[in-house]
Amino acid sequence: MGFSVSTASGIATAAKSPRGKTMLVEGKVVAAEAKRLQRKAKPATGKTATEAEKQREKDGQTAEATTAEAERPHAKAELAEDEVVAEAKRLYDKVKHLGWSMEDCFVYAPLTLEINKLKKEKDAIILAHSYQTPDIIYGIADFVGDSYGLSKQACSAKQKTIVFCGVRFMAETAKILNPEKTVLLPSTEAGCSLSESITAEDVREMREKHPHAGIVTYVNTNADVKAESDACCTSTNAMKVVEGMPQKEIIFLPDELMAKNVAKLTRKKIIGWRGRCIVHEDFDAEKIKAIRSMHPGVKILVHTECTPEVVDASDLAGGTENMISYIKSSDAKQFMLVTECGLGDRMRVEFPEKEIVGTCNLCPYMKKNNLKNILSVLKEPRKEQIVELPEEIIEKAQKALNKMFELTQK
């Protein structure tokens, strides 16, 4: 259950940006083109993405894959030509709605093919958040979803190794739920502004100040913060967890804006923190109104990490899975997704008959994962890419996560 708000409004317009075109000569990537794209590429800022910024981000990803391919001549020798062709066609069938060409898919195909073979050899499962790039989601992921869905998949995974294509706190959650398994995080730079906004000591101090309150911690937190909590929640199930807690006062950590949105829908007293998501805090209601005037009948779906003003201007507010379910069941033709750009790309692929309009924001942390570092972590993970947690932290954090499962499965 997510938040449901039935009012008016939306946020801006994202045209479909075609991928940076990659030159191919007799099936081989031209290294000079890769260098050209690398020079163009710039890191994501986490602020509202202009079309130029989104193109640079995508060009940078194409360049990285292109450079990796150009620098790995042995890979071509190991992969049969017909395998690469078949893999490129498979990718193209998925991502053609995003403006990808067959040439683009031929760039990625050797990497996705190699990763998919290697994960079987290594007995590994690849979990990817919906904010990951299309080459990860449709090229190599075994499961795609939000934090809650991926947590459940981590619990049921039979493989001995979990490769988590998301951010650090998600990989930690997988480790908490599977302490006996190896959990790998491709990029050690994949952090989170929310998880960095609070410490375990902060939680202990909050409990001292409010001894009768229950503590519900958003999953966008580090393991030691979860360990100090009574229950965890996700954006999709936050209300259900809060309502299921026995206390009349709830300390809701660390998202300040989500706490305010929860407070409007419950009779319980909500005590918040000062953390914010750099992706969602910058959307504003005026832009939503502008989109509504430009696209009559558009449905505005908002993430609950946004401000209350933006939530009030939406047709639905909740987590990514709430948004997906809404699009799937709605007869509307146009939707504005007030969240990270990756979900918009995913919806364009999975619901090509529906139009995604409006601007989106890029998460610089989510975009730290790419095919190159995923392949590397599968081959030979560095120590810092292997998620390790103290046993005491795992045991205490498990209780908070299990409480979430208990309250949301009733």
pLDDT digits (tens, 9 = 90+) for 372-383: 999 999 999 999
Kindly state whether residue 179 falls inside one of the protein's structural domains: no
Average pLDDT of span 251-260 = 98
Q: Is the domain of 215 the same as that of 353?
A: no
| CA distance linking residue 151 with residue 160, whole number of Å | 16
How far apart are the C-alpha atoms of 33 and 41, rounded to whole Å? 12
Per-residue pLDDT band for 351 (boundaries 50, 70, 90) equals very high
Rounded Cα distance between 324 and 326, Å, is: 5
Identify any residues that bridge with 263 across adjacent strands, giving them in sequence order: none
pLDDT tens-digit series, residues 282-319: 999 999 999 999 999 999 999 999 999 999 999 999 99
Considering only residues 366 and 32, tell me which one the structure prediction assigns the higher pLDDT.
366
The one-letter amino acid code at 364 reads P
Dig out the tokens for 102 from the structure: 């067959």
pLDDT at 78: 63
Which pLDDT band holds residue 151 (cuts at 50, 70, 90)? confident
Does 271 lie in the same domain as 340?
no
Q: Are residues 329 and 259 in the same domain?
A: no
Question: Residue 134, by phi and psi: left (phi above 0), alpha (psi -120 to 50) or beta?
Answer: alpha
SS3 call for 253? strand
319 occurs within a structural domain? yes
Confidence check: pLDDT of 10 > 80: no
Sorting pLDDT into bands at 50, 70 and 90, what band is 109? very high
Closest CA to 328 of 351, 296, 300: 351
203 with 260, same domain? Answer: yes
CA distance 105 to 2: 36
Q: Is residue 394 assigned to a domain?
A: yes
Same domain? 292 vs 265: no
Let me know whether 269 and 213 are in one domain.
yes
Could you give the CA distance from residue 68 to residue 301 in angstroms, rounded to a whole number? 37
**Whether residue 347 sits in one domain with residue 211:** no
If you compute the radius of gyration of the chain from its CA atoms, what whole number of angstroms results?
21
CA distance 206 to 253: 10
Judgement on whether residues 294 and 244 belong to the same structural domain of the protein: no
- Predicted confidence at residue 61, as pLDDT, reads 52
Which residues have C-beta within 8 Å of that of residue 169, sequence separation ≥ 6? 192, 195, 219, 220, 221, 222, 223
Whether 33 is in a domain gets the answer no
Residue where one domain finishes, among candidates 342, 357, 372: 357
Q: What is the CATH number of the domain that holds 293?
A: 3.40.50.10800
The pLDDT of residue 276 is 97
What range defines the domain where residue 333 resides?
285-357
Burial of 39 per CB tally in 10 Å (0-12, 13-18, 19+): exposed
Q: Residues for the chain: how many in total?
A: 410
264 and 404 in a common domain: yes
In angstroms, rounded to a whole number, what is the distance separating the alpha carbons of residues 260 and 158? 39
The whole-angstrom separation of Cα 57 and Cα 239 is 35
264 and 293 within one domain: no
Structural domain contains residue 269: yes
Judge whether residue 219 has pLDDT over 60.
yes
How far is it, in rounded angstroms, from Cα 319 to Cα 236? 4
352, 228: one domain:
no
Q: Model's pTM, two decimal places?
A: 0.80
Would you say the C-alpha torsion 248, 202, 279, 68 has a positive or negative sign? negative
The answer to whether residue 232 is domain-embedded is: yes
Q: What is the count of structural domains for the chain?
A: 2
Q: Please tell me the predicted confidence (pLDDT) of residue 9.
A: 28
| Tokens linked to 388 | 């390790």
Whether residues 342 and 210 share a domain: the answer is: no
The answer to whether residue 307 sits within a structural domain is: yes
337, β-bridge pairs: 301
Taking CA atoms, 282 is separated from 4, 191, 277, 365, in Å, by 21, 19, 9, 16
pLDDT band at 80 (very low <50, low <70, confident <90, very high): confident
Task: Mention every residue, 6+ apart, whose C-beta is less than 8 A from residue 90.
Answer: none
Q: Is the peptide bond before 254 cis (omega within 30 degrees of 0)?
A: yes
Measured CA to CA in angstroms, residue 266 lies from 2, 259, 263, 333 at distances of 13, 11, 6, 32
If you average pLDDT over every residue of the chain, what do you get?
85
Residue 231: inside a domain: yes
**Contact yes or no for 280/339 (Cβ under 8 A):** yes
